[in-house]
Amino acid sequence: MTAQLVEEAREGLRQFPPALAQEFESALEAVQPILEPDELAEWLRDGLEIARHSLRSWEASSEYFRASGPVLEQITYDRMREWCAVGVDLMETSPALSGALFRASPAVLPHLSVPQANDWASQGKSLYKGTWKSGSLSAQYFDVSPQILPHLPLSQMRLLVDLIDSLASHSYELASACLGMAPGVLSQLDRADRAPFLEFGGIVAHTAWVDARVYFERGPGALRQVGEEQRPRFLSLAGQVAMQVGRLGHPYFIESAQAMSEVEKDIHEGLLELAEQLAQHSGDAAMEFLKSSPRVAQRLGIDDIARWQEFGLQILQQSRDGGEAFFRLESARGEEVMEALSSRVDLDRVSELIRMYCKALTGVDVGVKASEELTAKGVGWVDESSPTTEGTTIYLPENVERYPTKEENFSVYKVFATHQAGRLEFGSFEYQSQLDPSLFPSPQNGTQNGHGNGVAPAAVEGQEGEIHTDMELFFDQFEDRRLAHDLFTIVEDTRIDTIVKREYAGVRRAFSRLQQAAIDRRRPVEGMPARQAMVENLLRASLDEIGRIRWPNELAEEMRTPLRILNRIRNDGATVQDSAAATALLYEWLSQIPNVELDSEDWSDFEQEMNADPDGGEDSDMMPGSGSSGLEESFMPFMPGSEERPYDSPDPVDFRGDFKPELVQLLMKLKGETGTGDAPPIPLTKEQLQELLEKSVEISINELMDMDLAESSGMFLDNLLKEVNQIQGERQEGQQAMGDDSTGEDDGAELPVEAASFYYDEWDFRAADYKPRWCRVQEQRGESGTSNYYTETLHEHTQLVQETRKQFEMLRPEMFRKMKRLTDGEDYDLDAVIEWYTEKIAGATSETKLFYRRNKVDRDVAVAFLLDVSASTDEEIQKHHDQRQDDQFDDDPRKYLSWWAQRRAEAARHPGKRIIDLEKEATVLLIEALETIGDKYGVYGFSGYGRDNVEFFVYKDMDEPFGDRIKERIDKIAPVRSTRMGPAIRHCIWKLQNTDAKVKILMLLSDGRPQDHGYGRDRTEKEYAIHDTKMALTEARREGMVPFALTVDRAGHDYLKQMCQDMAYEVVADIESLPRRLPALYRRLTG
């Protein structure tokens, strides 16, 4: 019977392509052993039915047959029927889908139970929209299901399907690509993250479907940057935000995830919680907050971040834009709050303060800079985190964040600075070989094998004109320069610290705290070889910690002498000469101590009666070789036969920083500021310098880099010479500049001047706050052309020039003004007296204000004249004429005629002038007028592109005398780029601030509204630029200046009204009248 059925089935299949039959045969082979006969019959019937269902259903049937075998290996036949019923149902929708389902079945079944089949299928079905493309997408669903289901439970499959479905409504290609990626993507994700990932993906698909592919590609990677536990939370936040912000949702996700990777993982939870709070108010703010978190976290701990966020949240509640700018770190308030909360102290915030502090202490002009700047110069200093000085500038670490409060951290800076300033104030670099110490016996007589302090410098310098620094000569005496240098450092630092603590009692506490901290960090002495241990102990003693000295008891006597020597330097009146003498004594002593392992069990705290003995006993005590010359022998018993070990320098003490007296003296010598004050700077050959450098132990070149000595010291040398030349160059430049001022006719070529950068805040009216340091203004001198232009312009306007001059000259007599009717004054005002007398006779009581006073009004005016040289000034003015209307003349025919006549004359002479040409002409005329009256003035131009490139041209600076150079520069005034007014105005304000005058005027001449790249939310927005410009003008007024805006843009009224509000402005409708109008306006303004 079975065979018959099979035969029938074969018969039935014959009407289909032979491939089906083949599939059937192989399937039959597989299932026959498993199925009962009646089951087999049913199976055959089902297969046939499927095949016969519709036109292409044979393919599905073929898949059915193929799947049957593997499926039956997993489930019972009954189950399989149940399963297949689902596929059969799907036939109604599309045989192709049905086929896909059968095809996937064997692989899916391990992950699904039979009752779930329906759900699984119906999800696939939901993708099918009756079109060919949707069909293939749906089929793809079944095809990838086996790879997806291991990662995603069916219950969550819905999320993916919805996502794909949503994408499909935009692009099937995209949907299909994403579906294809899905298994790979899901496998990269942690189990718990998968559903949230898809949920957010759904939102992305919804709000910004084009980003979906990127999301699938980069999302998992991005997500991995977020702390494991926090990922679902982060995704749901991103989703919540994306719902609010639409297309920005996805970029926010990527960027904020990236940002979080830069933050310690353990605060991710806290950050997210804060972001979630923000998201309730503004999604943008929440994500900006996360994006800013790395920078914020650098400064603040999580608790303080919360406080910072709370502050921003308050702003956010008042103003969305304000809050968002706050979290974008584009608001001055945000920075302030952060600064207030952070305990870190940044050098750039306090450098000016410290500079003045050090200047006060030392009385010389010291600079304060970050240590990095010194190390970057490559002249011998290498540690960028420790304080140091090279004689003219004090270098400090970039920031200090050592203690929990700002005050404490600042006090660290203060100690650093005080110690370095102390080196300058108390003369650490002023060692002179020919001076005698005051507290120590001059060791000259005690010289053995070349040691000693008395090398006559003159003799040495006499040879071949070589120069040496005194410090170098000093170190030259010692065989072991390193040891000598270490000892000198300890002694000199002890001296400085002692004086500082004596002189500046107020910093004592902070000093002691750092000393304590320094000593706590030191490596144990025990185990160090003898000489090294002794040096280490000396250093400890120098930190005021006698109690922390550890030394073998048996050798106490050997330690006592050096300590006594060191202690002597603490006495009042000790100089650097004493330090040198003490160093020589210590060296003498220590060089006799073999640097061998101390084989002693008896390391103990070293108790010394030294505090009770400030004078350190007799001098003879300190003299090596006198009395205790048998030192070496007495030492020997304790270190039997052990080997001499190489000597290592003690660890540096952080608050004392680098001490390089030799190099400093060298630098000073090279710069011509000889510390010894004797010789003028001697030109040094490269070879001599190189030799000098190679000898210097401070530049431990070999430790620094893997170059051979000659090469690396050559590099130092180059840097050093560069540094020195630079300083000399500056000096020469300064002299030259002075010469310019005094003679005013130096015809030497101007030095090319690099653009100097200035930073200014920009006002964001939405946030009602400044964006800190937002714009960079690059100041540069205007190019020079020829002065012909100037002369020609004057010639062209001869009459106007004379007129203006006359008008301006008339301003002068106004300088004396008689003030009448005062109760007191210089003399009687005759009119008032007569009046008073008449009234008195008439019996009327009258006022007795009978005096006058001549008030001498010194004309003390400074004006900064700011020209708009944006590209739009390139326009010919013809266009403006076409727009001209008659009503400008107030129906006054004379005005019209004069305009017409003037215009005709102009047109005949110069066809097609541009706005810039008229600006230039007006400038020429104004300069001519200003020269008459003697006001201080500057002429500037501005343009630029973007916030970090605001170009500011100086045609004539405030204090520059007028001359040919100025004329030449005016010739080259030319249109450049955009119009970012705010920063240019602010820079002008700065210029005016540095000018001494009673009346300060800022005159702005423009040809249109302010606009620039990024000067506003988008290209079309005008509000932002206007508000910023307005704020800049207001700032000018706050500074007591008179801002005045002048525009030749006929549409200027709209925005000028807004920009200037209650400030004066004028629209020069007839641009050609500008050269005439400008001086007139100026006269009115200052008259």
442 touching other proteins, by CB under 8 A: no
233 binds other proteins (CB under 8 A): no
Q: Tell me which residues in 817-856 interact with other proteins (CB under 8 A).
A: 826-828, 848, 850, 853, 856
Q: Which residues pair with 551 in a beta bridge?
A: 604
Q: How far is the CB of 476 from other proteins (least distance, A)?
A: 36
Least Å distance, CB 745 to other proteins, is 23
- The yes or no reply on residue 268 touching other proteins (CB under 8 A) is no
H helical segments located in 872-914: 878-882, 893-909
Angle at 286 between CA 281 and CA 291, to 5 degrees: 160
Q: Which is nearer to other proteins, 349 or 904 (CB)?
A: 349
- Report the nearest approach of other proteins to the CB of residue 865 (Å): 24
Calculate Rg over the CA atoms of the chain. 44
In whole angstroms, how close is the CB of 363 to other proteins at the nearest point? 4
Q: Which of residues 952-1011 bind other proteins (CB under 8 A)?
A: 996
CB of 656 vs other proteins, minimal distance in Å: 17
Judged by CB, which is closer to other proteins: 502, or 812? 502
- What is the contact mask toward other proteins in residues 402 to 441, using x (rule: CB under 8 A)? ------------x---x-----------------------
Rounded CA separation 129/161 (Å)? 13
Tokens of 430: 């002023």
Q: Output the furthest CA–CA distance in the chain (Å, rounded).
A: 156
**Which of 77, 357, 426, 940 contacts other proteins by CB under 8 A?**
357
Distances (CA, A) of 702 to 22, 201, 493, 528, 868: 82, 57, 26, 24, 57
Distances (CA, A) of 35 to 42, 76, 80, 983: 10, 9, 11, 88
Nearer to other proteins, 36 or 365 (CB): 365
| Sole window of 352-360, 458-466, 574-582, 594-602 interacting with other proteins (rule: CB under 8 A) | 352-360
Residue 57 tokens read as 């259903």
Give the shortest CB-504-to-other proteins separation in angstroms: 4
* d(C-alpha 995, C-alpha 861), whole Å: 10
Among residues 517, 513, 432, 442, the alpha carbon closest in space to that of 474 is found at 432
In the chain, what is the straight-line distance between the N-terminal and C-terminal CA atoms, in Å? 124
Q: Which is nearer to other proteins, 353 or 1080 (CB)?
A: 353
Nearest to 267 by CA among 292, 233, 301, 236: 301
8 A C-beta contact, residue 308 and residue 269: no
Q: How far is the CB of 410 from other proteins (least distance, A)?
A: 9
**502 binds other proteins, rule: CB under 8 A:** no
C-alpha triplet 391, 378, 482: angle, nearest 5°: 70
Does residue number 1033 form part of the binding site for other proteins (CB under 8 A)? no
Nearest approach, Cβ of residue 426 and other proteins (Å): 14
Segment lying near other proteins (by CB under 8 A), choices 51-59, 219-227, 285-293, 348-356: 348-356
Which of 360/842 has CB closer to other proteins? Answer: 360
Cβ of residue 216: shortest distance to other proteins, in angstroms? 54
User: Which listed residue (19, 192, 356, 857) binds other proteins by CB under 8 A?
Assistant: 356
Among 11, 352, 741, 876, which residue interacts with other proteins (rule: CB under 8 A)? 352
Residues paired with residue 400 on neighbouring β-strands, in sequence order: 345
How far is the CA of 931 from the CAs of 805, 832, 924, in angstroms? 9, 40, 11
Give 656 or 880: the residue with its C-beta nearer to other proteins: 656
Residue 389 touches other proteins, criterion: CB under 8 A: no
By CB under 8 A, residue 1073 contacts other proteins: no
Q: Is 593 helix (H, G, I), strand (E, B) or coil?
A: coil
Residue written as token pair 């940057």:
225
By the rule CB under 8 A, 710 interacts with other proteins: no
User: How far, in Å, CA of 728 to CA of 722, rounded?
Assistant: 10
Beta carbons within 10 angstroms of residue 833's beta carbon:
13
CB of 233 to other proteins, least distance (A): 44
Which CB atom, from 368 or from 525, has the smaller least distance to other proteins? Answer: 368
Q: Does 361 bind other proteins (CB under 8 A)?
A: yes
Contact mark string toward other proteins, 850..869, x via CB under 8 A: x--x--x-x-----------
936 binds other proteins (CB under 8 A): no
Alpha helices by DSSP H, listed for 440-480, are: 457-462, 470-476
Pick between residue 275 and residue 366 the one whose CB is nearest to other proteins: 366
Of 56, 509, 1017, 1053, the one binding other proteins by CB under 8 A: 509
The reply to whether 506 sits near other proteins by the rule CB under 8 A is yes
Considering the complex, state which of residue 505 and residue 842 has its C-beta at the smaller distance from other proteins: 505
Q: Per-residue x/- mask for other proteins, residues 459 to 498, rule CB under 8 A? A: ----------------------------------------
The full DSSP string for 606-621 is ---GGGG-TT-S-HHH
Nearer to other proteins, 464 or 858 (CB): 858
**Cα distance between residue 711 and residue 790, in whole Å:** 56
Dist. CA 550–CA 292, nearest whole Å: 50
Here the tokens at position 1039 are 């500074």
Cβ of residue 361: shortest distance to other proteins, in angstroms?
6
- Give the three-state DSSP class for 941: strand
CB of 412 vs other proteins, minimal distance in Å: 13
Total residues in contact with other proteins, by rule CB under 8 A: 29
Q: Which is nearer to other proteins, 425 or 928 (CB)?
A: 425
**Virtual torsion, Cα 360, 364, 370, 375, nearest 10 deg:** -150
Of 270 and 422, nearer to other proteins (C-beta) is 422
Mention every residue, 6+ apart, whose C-beta is less than 8 A from residue 306. Answer: 270, 274
Token pair recorded at residue 818: 């008689």
> Which tokens is 1003 given?
């005159």
Q: Does 508 bind other proteins (CB under 8 A)?
A: yes
Task: Provide the minimum distance between the beta carbon of 844 and other proteins in the complex, in angstroms, as a whole number.
Answer: 14
Closest distance to other proteins from the beta carbon of 798 (Å):
36
Decide whether 360 or 612 has the Cβ nearer to other proteins: 360
SS3 451: coil
CA dist., res. 780 & res. 1041, Å (int): 24
Q: Give whichever of 374 and 507 is closer to other proteins, judged by the CB atom.
A: 507
The minimum distance between CB 505 and other proteins, in angstroms, equals 5
Say how far apart CA 707 and CA 700 lie, in whole Å: 12
Closest CA to 274 of 251, 317, 242, 303: 303
Give the shortest CB-517-to-other proteins separation in angstroms: 19
Q: Least CB distance from residue 314 to other proteins, whole Å?
A: 26
**Alpha carbon distance 235, 526 (integer Å):** 56
* Residues numbered 730-759 forming contacts with other proteins, rule: CB under 8 A: none
Three-state secondary-structure class, residue 854: strand
Taking the C-alpha atoms of residue 535 and residue 53, their distance in angstroms, rounded to an integer, is 100
Q: Which residues bind other proteins (CB under 8 A)?
A: 352-354, 356-357, 359-363, 365, 414, 418, 503-509, 826-828, 848, 850, 853, 856, 858, 996
